Amino acid sequence: MDNVNIDQFQKAFKTLLERVMTTHTPLKVTRNTGDEFVVVDAKDWERDQETLYILQNSQLMQQISDSLKTHQQHKGYKPTQEQLNEIIGI
pLDDT of residue 12: 98
Q: With both helix axes pointing from N to C terminus, report the angle between 58-72 and 42-56 in degrees, rounded to the nearest 10.
A: 80
Report whether pLDDT(89) > 90: no
Q: Do 25 and 49 sit in the same domain of this protein?
A: no
- Whether residue 51 lies inside any domain: the answer is yes
pLDDT at 76: 83
Q: What is the pLDDT of residues 1-24, one digit of tens each?
A: 999 999 999 999 999 999 999 999
- Residue 25: pLDDT band (50, 70, 90) is very high
Instruction: Estimate to the nearest angstrom the gap between the alpha carbon of 36 and the chain centroid.
Output: 21
The yes-or-no verdict on residue 90 having pLDDT over 80 is no
Q: Are 6 and 31 part of one and the same domain?
A: yes
Q: Is residue 63 part of a domain?
A: yes
- Boundaries of domain holding 11: 2-40
Residue 50 lies in a domain: yes
Condensed to tens digits (0 to 9), the pLDDT of residues 44-86 reads 999 999 999 999 999 999 999 999 999 999 898 888 999 999 9
Residue 73 DSSP SS3: coil
- Structural domains of the chain, count: 2
pLDDT attached to residue 60: 94
Judgement on whether residues 7 and 32 belong to the same structural domain of the protein: yes
DSSP single-letter state for residue 33: T
Residues 32 and 61 in one domain: no
- Please report, for the domain that includes residue 23, its CATH number: 3.40.1620.10
Do 36 and 51 belong to one domain?
no
